[in-house]
Every structure is written in C-alpha cells, then in structure tokens.
Structure 1
Amino acid sequence: MTTHFLQVGEVRIAYDREGEGPPLVLMHGAEASRQMFAALVPHLSRHFTVIAYDQRDCGETEAPEHACTLSDLADDAQRFIGALGFKRAHVFGSSFGGRVAQALALLYPRAVDHLVLGSTWPLPRPIEELCPDARRLAELRRGLPGTAEELATWFFPESFLKQRPELRRIFANARPESARSARRLATVQTSLECGVADIVAPTLLPAGELDRVVPPSVTLAMAARIRGADAVLMPAVGHVTALQAPEVLARHMVRFLDPAGAIA
C-alpha cells in the first residue's frame, strides 16, 4: 500500500486510503501508529473509504517539535477530514485514539457522522482515576525492554500471544525514550473540560472481555452517559481488538455503520 501525505496546517500527515463508500477515519492508540489497523482495513474497505493516519509524534507524520494537546489532535483531525474533501466522516478511535475521537465529536460535532469508541475511557477523567492498575502499567512501560514479556500480556491474552509470539517483540524492541516519545506522553495526559455526556453522534462502544489496559467495564459504562449509545463485549479478546479480532470487530462496526451492507 502506498503511503500518502497531506499538509494540514503545520502538520504533514501520513495516511493510507483504501476502499470505496462513505469515509471512515481510524485513530490509533497512544504508542501506536496507523499500522495497528493493517489487519482491520481489508474487512472495512469492502464497505467504506477507509483512512488510517498517524497522529502527531507518531509513525511517519511530521510536525513541529513542540508540545501539543488533545484539542490540537482534534483540530488536526477536523482539518484532515476537510482536506481529504469530506464534510464529515465516520470515526473509529481505539484506546487513546478513542479520546481523540471523543474530542473531535465534542469540539467539531458536524465533522462526525457515526462514532465508534473502542477500548477507551471517557473524557474528561484521567485513566488513573478509572483504572486502578494504570500506575503499574506506567511502571512496566518505563522498565522496557526488561519488562516486555509482562507488558505484552496487558495488551494481548496469553493464549493469543502463544499463537502470535512475534507480537512480544513489539514491546521488546521498544526504542529508548526520546524527545518525541516524551512529547507524546505529555499529549496523552491532556484532556478537555467538556465530557462524554455531551456527545451527540450515534455511538458504538466495543470492548474486549480480557482487556487489562482499560477494563471493559470502563468502556461499556460510557453507554449510559451517551444518549442512544450501543455497547458490545467481545469475548476472549484483549485490549488491541483491531489486531486480535479484526474480523469480529469489523462485523460489529459494519452492522452499526452500514446495516444494509452488513446484510448484503
């Protein structure tokens, strides 16, 4: 797949585009890139024009080397959708990408058609307030690469890692902390004043039953705060649903975003 680049304000955004149909923008997690959606895109591109992009300080996207906020990432996303030629798009955000998606839906509601918030936690609350083990997770991240084996089990169930042992290397090969990764960490810790209850877009909340990073109860509880939201628990799946169960996740998304296509 050919990497595309688009200048959006001060940011040169790297992205992939595949398929035809209504636009669907994919937002990756805190330490990831658009590559986390490689297995998911083929299932979605049968129904949508799928755009997966790298956020600031991630992947191949280039941006000025200064701190940014969650609001800045929402601004980038809104401008990016417009620069692609779309007035609005469906949006799927995974983990911290779900926070970016929430921010976009709150700050630019006209830019979002339908919203899918996977394995994420609600604005404006910090993850440490909702997930008791968040501090342990932070310790494991700081201990890389020595903690790679344990950290991998937070993102994927042990049974899945036995099938895909190469995924352990994602953590073992983590680069030493850089200025870029430090900026990204600071960005992830920012929030908005408004909260998830103010989202007006139709919303789906998928969560993995075995998620240790963001307990599924945290994600599913958001359904009670977003008017008309739907929630789905994915059995035997961990945090990175797009990698572990792309076909199952895509089926839920297509059913929600394109009921006619799901039946066809």
Structure 2
Amino acid sequence: MLRTTLVAAMLLATTPAFAQPEPARVEVNGMHMYYEVSGEGPPLIVLHGAYMNIETMGAIIPALAESHTVYALELQGHGRTTDIDRPITYQNLADDVAGFMEAVGIGKASVFGYSMGANAGLQMVIRHPEKVDRAVLASVAYDAKGWQPEFLAFLPQLAPEFFVGTPVEDEYRRLAANPEGFPALVDKLIALEHEPLAWEADVAKIETPILIVQGDADTPSPEHAVAMLRLLGGGTMGDMGAPLPASRLAILPGTSHTALMNQPELLKALIGPFLRGETPKGMFD
C-alpha cells in the first residue's frame, strides 16, 4: 500500500546497491514493463512500493540475489515502465505480475513485496495462487482498519500538490519514459489509497506460505499483523508435537515504515530460511 509521506522520505534515504543486474523490457497488458535480473537459484520476484523503483529498493535486491534468481520489476507508471489508460489497483498490479511471468516463461516463483508491492503480492497469492511458491510481504495490510490511526487521519489531506517540486517528482522524471506523466501517476496513487481494502475472507482461504514482515512502528499496526497471521493459520503454540504452521510473522524492533528496507542484512536473515522452508529446531524436534 501507499505510505505517501514516508515513501518520500525513503527516496532520500536509500542508497542504491546492485550487483550488475541485466536490464530488460517486456510487453505486459499494453505497457512496456522494465525489469532487471540478477543472481542464480530459484526464481524470486521483487515488487517495490509506491513512487519507488528498483534502485530505491536498495541493498535487499543484491542480498537476495546471493541465493535466488531475482526478477525485480517496475510496476505500472513507475520507474522505466510505461503507464497505460487504466487505474492502478492492487488487483491490476497482481495481474500484471502474472502476465510478466507468462511473458518471460516463469511457471512459478516466490514473491517479495514491500508496501504497495506487498499488497500487490497478497493479491497475487489470492488471484494467482498456482504461480506463487512462497510470499514475503513487508508492511502489508488486508484491511484498511489495520492502518495506524495517524495514517487514517492523514489520508483526507492527501492531494497532488503535496508532491510538486519534491525529490519524489525529481526521481520520477529521471527515469520515466514520459517525464510529464507524474501528475497522472499521483492521481492514480491517491485514488488507490481510497480503494476499498477488506480482504479478510480471501486471506482466510490462502494456503500459500506467507512471511509477514513489518516494523513495530510501521503503518499497519502490530495487532493487524498478528490478526493476519492467525487468519493464515499461524500464531498457534509450538512444542506440542505437531509441525508449526507454514506462515510466519516477524516484527522488527524500533523500526518505522521507511526504516524497514534500510535493514537488508536483517531482512535477508529472516527471508532466507523461510524461502528454503527451514524451521528453527526446538528441544522437542
């Protein structure tokens, strides 16, 4: 999901770090989608947040590329991917990812999404479960009621003028195929914030293993993350002789929304074992 003011700060704070990725473009649902491939191993698709691009995802991409073939995408209207005459919705973004996989010949992959990319990843699991092996969703929400009160109070104040002349606009113009397309993108992303978000019934049906990751001072509340874990069948007591549930939750201490992606080594340590299907051993295992 979009966390507008926080993402604007992140564009300033994140330092790009990449290990010689291979850039490419492919046509997906009428847009020219830009993506980069790096690393070797099982396929892993990386989805960025709103107003972001591959570079502003920072060091997590090369970290994950140490063990996976990472396909980092730039979503509709972001970075070097063209925009089209269509709203930006999480469902549309999920369908774009599925279309990308078909276009480049990926039958099934794991997904790592952050913020808007996490909600798109969640919709990917809901709409295209056969294409997702495992999903890591960083700062995700399945219901708007799970957002912190401060964020809900800020939403009505959100307007296109907020972004004029900011580093967010500068970053857009630096990469975009149409440097004048920023106002249209802002309008779509503000509209995305006001789209209904109530997916509890869909989440309760998910069988794909999911790792929820968020900060303890993130935009979704910690209580919301726990509620999502329980919907996914997690949050039960271990050491009772039964295998642990497939889905997991990691809440990073002292971590705001923008600080989340600035901890790539910690994220890697959490994500790696989950993607490999490893569970820490207890004294009764």
Change (3 A) 1:3 1:192: farther
Paired position in structure 2 for 1:118: 138
Counterpart secondary structure, 1:60:
coil
Greater CA drift, 184-193 or 1-10: 184-193
Q: Give me the whole-angstrom Cα distance separating, in 2, the residues matched to 1:101 and 1:40.
A: 17
Q: Give me the whole-angstrom Cα distance separating, in 1, the residues matched to 2:220 and 2:266.
A: 19
Greater CA drift, 23-32 or 188-197: 188-197
Change (3 A) 1:172 1:141: farther
Change (3 A) 1:170 1:242: farther
CA deviation after TM superposition for structure 1 residue 242, in Å = 5.3
Paired position in structure 2 for 1:187: 192
Percent of paired sites with the same residue: 25
Paired position in structure 1 for 2:89: 69
Q: 1:19 aligns with which of 25, 39, 43?
A: 39
Q: 2:148 aligns with which of 119, 131, 137?
A: 131
Counterpart secondary structure, 2:62:
helix
Deviation per CA, 1:108-150: give whole Å up to 9, x if none: 110100011111111xx226x643112444367547469x9xx
Q: 2:224 aligns with which of 218, 221, 225?
A: 218
Change (3 A) 1:5 1:110: same
Q: CA RMSD for the aligned pairs?
A: 2.9
Change (3 A) 1:172 1:80: closer
Deviation per CA, 1:168-198: give whole Å up to 9, x if none: x856968897122112322344357653212
Counterpart secondary structure, 2:122:
helix
Counterpart secondary structure, 2:51:
coil
CA deviation after TM superposition for structure 1 residue 10, in Å = 0.7
- Residues 118, 219 of structure 1: 8 Å contact kept: no
Paired position in structure 2 for 1:39: 59
Change (3 A) 1:12 1:174: closer
- Residues 36, 242 of structure 1: 8 Å contact kept: no
Aligned length, in residue pairs: 236
Change (3 A) 1:252 1:86: same
Q: Give me the whole-angstrom Cα distance separating, in 1, the residues matched to 2:126 and 2:226.
A: 19
* 2:213 is the counterpart of 1:196: no
Q: Give me the whole-angstrom Cα distance separating, in 2, the residues matched to 1:117 and 1:99.
A: 8
Change (3 A) 1:73 1:192: farther
Q: 1:251 aligns with which of 247, 269, 272?
A: 269
- Name the aligned partner's letter for residue 131 of structure 1: Q
Q: Give me the whole-angstrom Cα distance separating, in 2, the residues matched to 1:89 and 1:241.
A: 27
Structure 1 runs not aligned, ≥5 long = 149-168
**Structure number, greater radius of gyration:** 2
Q: Give me the whole-angstrom Cα distance separating, in 2, the residues matched to 1:45 and 1:174.
A: 25
Q: Give me the whole-angstrom Cα distance separating, in 2, the residues matched to 1:4 and 1:117.
A: 25
Structure 2 runs not aligned, ≥5 long = 1-20, 173-179, 234-244, 281-285
- Name the aligned partner's letter for residue 216 of structure 1: P
Counterpart secondary structure, 1:58:
coil
- Name the aligned partner's letter for residue 112 of structure 1: V
Q: Give me the whole-angstrom Cα distance separating, in 1, the residues matched to 2:89 and 2:275.
A: 29
In the superposition, the TM-score normalised over structure 1's length comes to 0.78
- Residues 91, 123 of structure 2: 8 Å contact kept: yes
- Residues 102, 199 of structure 1: 8 Å contact kept: no
CA deviation after TM superposition for structure 1 residue 2, in Å = 4.5
Change (3 A) 1:22 1:216: same
Q: Give me the whole-angstrom Cα distance separating, in 2, the residues matched to 1:104 and 1:172.
A: 28
Q: Give me the whole-angstrom Cα distance separating, in 1, the residues matched to 2:260 and 2:36.
A: 16
In the superposition, the TM-score normalised over structure 2's length comes to 0.73
Counterpart secondary structure, 2:261:
helix
- Residues 131, 215 of structure 1: 8 Å contact kept: yes
Q: Give me the whole-angstrom Cα distance separating, in 2, the residues matched to 1:62 and 1:145.
A: 20
Counterpart secondary structure, 1:178:
helix
CA deviation after TM superposition for structure 1 residue 39, in Å = 0.8
- Residues 103, 192 of structure 1: 8 Å contact kept: no
Greater CA drift, 133-142 or 177-186: 133-142
Q: Give me the whole-angstrom Cα distance separating, in 1, the residues matched to 2:131 and 2:198.
A: 18
